[in-house]
A and B are shown apart, each in its own frame.
Chain A
Amino acid sequence: MTADSQKTARLVALFLLGWLLFNFPMLSLFSLNRLVFGIPSLYLYIFGVWVFIILSAALVTRITEQKASDHR
């Protein structure tokens, strides 16, 4: 498996995970009428997943970018 297809696979997996986390039924678990740390639970959940996805994407691309530059 080349570094490139590995990266693609990781990002596609991240997409699938994101799709699951951002949809029914995961959302319904957090659609509660209460505040967590002063923030509505649904919003806290969505923004939390959002940050997680951004960080993961950054990590995946960062690792492979470094690998690519090592090869050069």
Chain B
Amino acid sequence: MLETATILFFSFGYMGFLFAIAYFGDKHAEMGRSIVGNPYIYALSMAVYCTAWTFYGSVGRAVRDGPGFLTIYIGPTLMAALGWLVLRKIIRISKIHHITSIADFIGSRYGKSTILGGVVTVIAVLGIVPYIALQLKAISTSYLVIKEYPEIVMPRNFAKVPVFQDTAFYVSVLLAVFSILFGTRHLETTERHEGMVAAIAFECVVKLIAFISIGTFITYSLYDGFGDLFEKARAVPEFRRLLIMEDRTGAYIDWGIYIFLSMTAIIFLPRQFHVAVVENINEDHLNKAIWLFPLYLLAINIFVLPVALGGLLEFPRGTVDADTFVLTLPMALHQEGLALLAYIGGTSAATGMVIVETVALSTMICNELVMPVLLRLPFPRVSQWGDMSGVLLGIRRSGIALLLLLGYTYFRFIGEYYPLVSTGLVSFAAVAQFAPAILGGIFWKRSTRLGALWGMVAGFLVWAYTLFLPSLVQTGLLSSGFVTEGPWGIALLRPFQLFGLEGFNNVAHAVFWSMFVNVGGYIGVSLFTQPSPMEHTQAALFVDVFKSPEEFTWRRTASVPDLKSLLERFLGEQRTRELLSHYADSRRLDWEKSLTADDDLISYAEKLLSGAIGSASARVMVASVVKEESLGIEEVMNILDETRQVIIYSKELERTTSELKAANERLKELDRLKDEFISTVTHELRTPLTSVRSIAEILQDTEDLDPDQHRQFLGIIIKESERLTRLINQVLDFQKMESGRMEWQIQEVDLHEVVSDAVSRTEQLVRDKGAAVRIHQPEAPMPKIPGDVDRLIQVMLNLISNAVKFCDEDRGRIDITLSHGIEKVRVDVEDNGIGISPEQQERIFDKFHQIRNVNKARPSGSGLGLSITRRIVEHHGGTIRVKSEPGTGSTFSFELPIQKASDAE
């Protein structure tokens, strides 16, 4: 029944069905009714992770290594739990920035770097092509195996099958057609392909059903359930090792490294990035995918060991390749339907992987390799070309065809020497090189473009040396001495035991060393290089994607028609109109009317373009129409400068305000002092006036006053009048000094003369009080000083009368001491009066401050005397102070400079 025609009918029928599903999905998407917009399809599409390598290869690996095959599925299970932390962030970033591939993601993160995007693309292509070849090999092998039914013959030497009789060739062509049709139907800014996703999800269901059907049949029909199967397997001593961990140093380390490797693969394989990030419709779908996807992995692994053990028990040792057990077991049991199901399941696993991988890789090749080169070619000026969307699609379609051609070529010439299992791991190790740059990129702002570049390149070189080059040995391109003795016989450089590191599996060994240099280079170089402004911006946008929904704005302008025609060239006229009117609607703008595009519109256009041609190229294209890309350091400095100016102004404003406040306070104080002044002066004037008036009244009323008393009364009137005059003079002087209208007559002054003059003028006053004045002066003549004689005499008069005032009656002694230094002359006026308390000393020179004498009810003097004295001394550039102890007397000292520091104002 299983004839070649039947097999081919089902093969191509299946492919036709896929086409139908994809077509159906695309049609629905166009009508706006998405059939893939739910978490179940999303989780299923992630299962494109399970390739032919899973379908056939897991059994092969279980036969060789025992439980080790499980690590490839445990890693993704663990990573799914981290998905909410890592994957959701990547999805959010990619949505905001219209990122369409893993190369675009890394390039965009590190300052929209073209070089980085290119390097990632090259690594991805070199790393993944063998993986694609592996899928083609699986399809080819399974066909060759099932074709021989009912015989079970292991195919040898694919290379001898002519290309045009090789199913793998026709399958490759069909896959290329499918990928081109549903992966590059039209240029989308989001790079989403709903039809393709629908087909992939369907394939994932098919392969799961196929594998579980076969597993169930073997476990429950061939054997009596799990227990029976395991008992029988344990009866064979050599199979027991498959049920436990390998007994080898480093086995557990290998195990851990494999889990790590598959954790990186589940996100960073281009096809996984594509289905999980680019094709993601709604972030919330992650909620279900976090546990549904691991559930799928669990389900597809349950029967791996039973099938492996069944195959081992069923076939004589070494006759059948364990990689084909899934297919050959049903054949051996003559279950034709099951065998066909296995064949279709394996094919679906392989085709699903190839389709998504080629679409993802071709986008990268187009956006990160071809476009940047085309845009930079000096000639012909590609950037001047008209409609580019056709060119872009052409590049992508060629990319898909090229990738399949490369894959097929690899499979024909190299692939047959390799078992399924190692090729997949080698590819995993290649894409693991993206992990530091991406994980670091979304959590560590300080990382730089050079760090990412050096890390990746170094890691990739180590990968090539420890995994890729040795694979060439098996094909005969390199001599086997390279692996066994090391290049040029240097044992330390043996690629599988680099620097003498032994005990590891080849892949684990390569992962260790490549990650060592990758992470080391990434961190080390990042710490020793400075990120550019563009890198700073992108780093902040990526790392803080959840923190600030608003974006940085550059100050750019462009003309709307220019921008529009740019978009039209890449996206087509109709799509551009739709997108722009959508933009205008969402912001309530009438953009048709405005001719200048603001930064917001430019950013929007750049993101749309990013979706079509990658962020690095989009930046170049947008820069070509933007008037001035404001990334120049000058512009940034200007912005900074403006900000600085504003800060300075505001500081100045603050200072002026506080000055005004202080001035206001001072004015209030002055106002208060003026009131005080007036009330004091009035009071001072009233007292002598009252006494003059009352005495005058006595004189008027009493006619028979004896002449002595008469004279005495008149004496009081004169004295009080003098006091009034003095007071008025003081007030006037003070007023003049306060307002600066005092006229100073500066001339050479002999201070000794001043003192003598003042003493003689106060002779009467001193004598009345029964006190004595003594003058002490140095023997050498005093140096003359510049000053106003009359005012200085006034100073002395004030000090002497002050001293007299507080002297005890009849015991008063006033010592005036003159002295001088090189710069200053000094006068001390010492008395033995009642003294001044410390708190009074501080305020004694203030205006209107009067020392309250406890013995007298009324203070004597206006309270202006010492204040005037201080002003005169200060006007001469000197200082005055008082030293006193209550009860023993006071010393008033003033110093005047011999050379006046500055002229009187």
Chain A partners chain B: yes
Chain A residues engaging chain B, CB cutoff 8 angstroms: 7-8, 11-12, 14-15, 18-19, 22-25, 27-28, 31-33, 35, 37-40, 42-43, 46-47, 50-51, 53-55, 57-58, 61, 64-65
Known contacts being A12-B82, A27-B252, A28-B252, is A47 close to B245, with CB within 8 Å?
Answer: no
In the complex, residue of chain B having the shortest beta-carbon distance to the beta carbon of A15:
B81
Docked Cα-Cα span, A53 to B74, in Å, equals: 10
Which segment of B289-297, B351-359, B369-377, B656-664 sits at the interface? B289-297
Q: Does B843 contact A (CB under 8 A)?
A: no
Segment at the interface with A among B3-11, B225-233, B673-681:
B225-233
Q: Which of A27, A38, A64 is B245 in contact with, Cβ under 8 Å?
A: A27
Check if B298 sits within 8 Å of A42, measured CB to CB: no
A57-B85 CB under 8 A given contacts A27-B245, A27-B255: no
- For the complex with contacts A19-B259, A33-B240, A39-B226, 12 further pairs of A-B residues with Cβ separation under 8 Å are A11-B84, A11-B85, A23-B256, A24-B253, A27-B252, A31-B244, A31-B245, A38-B226, A53-B77, A53-B294, A61-B288, A61-B290
Interface size in chain B (residues, C-beta < 8 A): 38
Secondary structure class of chain B's binding surface, majority of residues: helix
Could you say which of A33, A40, A54, A64 contacts B77, with CB atoms under 8 Å apart?
A: A54
Per the bound structure, the CA–CA distance linking A29 and B857 in Å amounts to 105
From B84, B230, B287, B302, contact of A35 by CB (8 A): B230
Given A43-B305, A46-B70, A65-B287; A15-B255 close (CB under 8 Å):
no
Shortest CB-to-CB span from A57 to chain B, Å, is: 4
CA distance A50 to B78 in the complex (A): 9
Q: List, in ascending order, chain B residues with CB within 8 A of A8's CB.
A: 84-85
Residues of B within 8 A of A53 (CB): 77-78, 81, 294
Which of B81, B230, B231, B305 contacts A57, CB < 8 Å?
A: B81
* A33–B243 touching, CB < 8 Å: yes
By CB atoms of chain B within 10 A, which of A32, A37, A42 has the most? A42
**Contact call A39/B84, Cβ cutoff below 8 A:** no
B294 to chain A, nearest CB (A): 5
Candidate in A15, A33, A42 with the most chain B CB atoms within 10 angstroms: A15
Chain B contacts to A: CB under 8 angstroms: 67, 70, 74, 77-85, 225-228, 230-231, 234, 240, 243-245, 252-253, 255-256, 259, 284, 287-288, 290-291, 294-295, 298, 302, 305
B294 touches A54 (CB 8 A): yes
User: Which among A22, A28, A51, A65 is the interface contact of B78 at CB below 8 angstroms?
Assistant: A22
- Are the CB atoms of A11 and B82 closer together than 8 Å? yes
A40 to B298, CA, bound (A): 17
Q: Is the CB of B244 within 8 A of A32?
A: yes
Q: A residues within 8 A CB of B243?
A: 33, 40, 42-43
Q: Given that A22-B78, A39-B230, A54-B295 are contacting pairs, would A46 and B67 also be in contact in the complex, using a CB cutoff of 8 Å?
A: yes
- Residues of chain A contacted by B230 (CB below 8 angstroms): 35, 38-40
Considering only CB atoms, which chain B residue lies closest to A35 in the complex? B230
Cβ–Cβ < 8 Å partners of A14 in chain B: 81
> How many angstroms between the C-alpha atoms of A48 and B289 in the bound complex?
20
Contact assessment for B67 and A18 in the assembled complex, using a CB-CB cutoff below 8 Å: no
A and B contact pairs by CB, cutoff 8 A, 8 listed: A14-B81, A15-B81, A23-B255, A39-B226, A39-B230, A53-B81, A57-B291, A61-B287
- How many Å lie between the Cα of A42 and that of B225 in the bound state? 18
A47 to B290, Cβ gap below 8 A?
Answer: no
Q: How far is the CA of A24 from the CA of B258 in the complex (A)?
A: 13
Q: Are A33 and B78 in contact (CB under 8 A)?
A: no
Question: Contact partner of A11 among B244, B290, B305, CB < 8 A?
Answer: B290
Shortest Cβ distance from B233 into A: residue: A40
Give which listed residue, B84, B234, B295, B302, contacts A7 with CB less than 8 A. B84
Query: What are the residues of chain B within 8 A of A46 when measuring CB–CB?
Result: 67, 70, 74
Q: Is the CB of A57 within 8 A of B67?
A: no
> Nearest chain-B residue to A57 (Cβ)?
B291
**B296 — nearest CB in chain A belongs to which residue?**
A54
Of the candidates A11, A38, A57, which one forms a contact with B294 in the assembled complex, judged by CB atoms under 8 Å apart? A57
The residue of chain A having its C-beta at the shortest distance from the C-beta of B260 within the complex is A19
Partner of B225, one of A38, A58, A65: A38
A22 and B298 alpha carbons, distance in the complex (Å): 14
On chain B, the residues within 8 Å of A38 by CB distance are: 225-228, 230-231
Name which residue of chain B comes closest to A64, CB basis: B287
Q: Min CB distance, B555 to chain A, in Å?
A: 34
Q: Which 7 A-B pairs have the closest CB atoms?
A: A38-B227, A24-B252, A40-B243, A58-B291, A31-B245, A57-B291, A15-B81
On chain B, the residues within 8 Å of A47 by CB distance are 298, 302
